[in-house]
Amino acid sequence: MIGYLYWSVKETASEIYEPLPSDRPRYVSTDKEIPASPAPVQTEQLSPFSVLLLGVDERENDRGRSDTIIVMTVNPKSKKILMYNIPRDTRTELVLRGTQDKINHAYAYNGIEGSLATVEKFVDMPIDYYVEVNMEGFKLIVDTLNGVDVNNPFAFDYEGEKFPAGQQHLNGEQALKFSRMRYDDPRGDFGRNDRQKQVIQDVIHRATKWNNTSALPSILNAIGDHVRTNLTFGELQDLVLKYRKNLNDIETTFIEGQGTMINGIYYYVVDQKERDRIHELMKQQLAATS
């Protein structure tokens, strides 16, 4: 059984593994305290790392857009994860195009490479890994973990599903709808971001406790069609076997900005002071030793 599980994991890891182009240069931060050539992450030694999580809404004959953009820093030495959303309408430079636009358009134009380059410049930090999940993959992961628990701030209906106010348990389909609604939220995209963070927090919490290994082969089979990452098989093993028991606390923050219309288009504008604050939070989290 152990051998079968090992090869199942290895086969799926190979299927979902999509490395970044070998000629893609590592981002060089303007912060002189961050090395121009950061040392590779040593997951077997529990190195801290950063990861970009993209929830992608795929469309027919279209790459789609990254409607969920979450950055996490993971540090098993401090036993903490720092997590924050970048609002999809955030105006910034799309690095591979050299134009100012909404940050979620980076994926539509240049895929994961465009998103990663743009987010790295926005936070002035190199990002070690990416994980891209489409909507079907999101539902599957939630169902695999037997659903998620959330605390809904207000009652709403969305796509035929009723979500009462207060604590509730959601399956994968419900969690997706809970995460996607924004037009009936008085806080719009920001309220949706908070609901997304709730779901992701509970997914991470459940994943660190999950031990139903007998279900792993069938789960991995299905996930292979819906997840892409540059984490190798060995790194995924380390996350499952070493990191998850060393992560107890998830800290979240909110990116402050101002909504504004530019040439008739709505953007969320984040000033440099706020970007510097996010940069410092990430740097401190990655460097923390306790």
Interval 57-96: pLDDT, tens: 765 555 666 889 999 999 999 999 999 999 999 999 999 9
Residue 207 or 102, more confident:
102
Q: Tell me what pLDDT residue 217 has.
A: 62
Q: Tell me what pLDDT residue 239 has.
A: 87
Give mean pLDDT, residues 264-282.
97
Count of CB atoms within 10 A of residue 110's CB?
Answer: 18
Predicted confidence (pLDDT) at residue 124 exceeds the cutoff of 90: yes
Give mean pLDDT, residues 142-171.
94
Asked if residue 181 lies in contact with residue 194, where contact means CB atoms within 8 angstroms, the answer is no
Residue 247 or 81, more confident:
81
Asked if residue 92 lies in contact with residue 106, where contact means CB atoms within 8 angstroms, the answer is no
Q: Tell me what pLDDT residue 2 has.
A: 46
Asked if residue 115 lies in contact with residue 216, where contact means CB atoms within 8 angstroms, the answer is no
Eight-class DSSP state of 26: P
Alpha carbon distances (Å) from 209 to 97, 145, 172, 174, 283 = 42, 10, 18, 22, 28
Give mean pLDDT, residues 150-160.
95
Predicted confidence (pLDDT) at residue 221 exceeds the cutoff of 90: no
Predicted confidence (pLDDT) at residue 218 exceeds the cutoff of 70: no
The closest of 248, 252, 254 to 270, measured between CA atoms, is 254
Phi, psi of 157 (to 5 degrees): -110, 145
Alpha carbon distances (Å) from 141 to 47, 135, 150, 175, 226 = 25, 10, 16, 11, 10
> Residue 11's domain is classified under what CATH number?
3.40.630.190
- Greatest mean pLDDT range, 8-12, 23-27, 160-164, 213-217: 160-164
CA gap 197, 191 in Å, rounded: 10
Average of per-residue pLDDT values in the chain: 88
> Which residues span the domain enclosing 258?
2-287
Using DSSP's 3-state secondary structure scheme, residue 28 falls into coil
Give mean pLDDT, residues 189-200.
90
Q: How many domains does the chain have?
A: 1
Predicted confidence (pLDDT) at residue 288 exceeds the cutoff of 80: yes
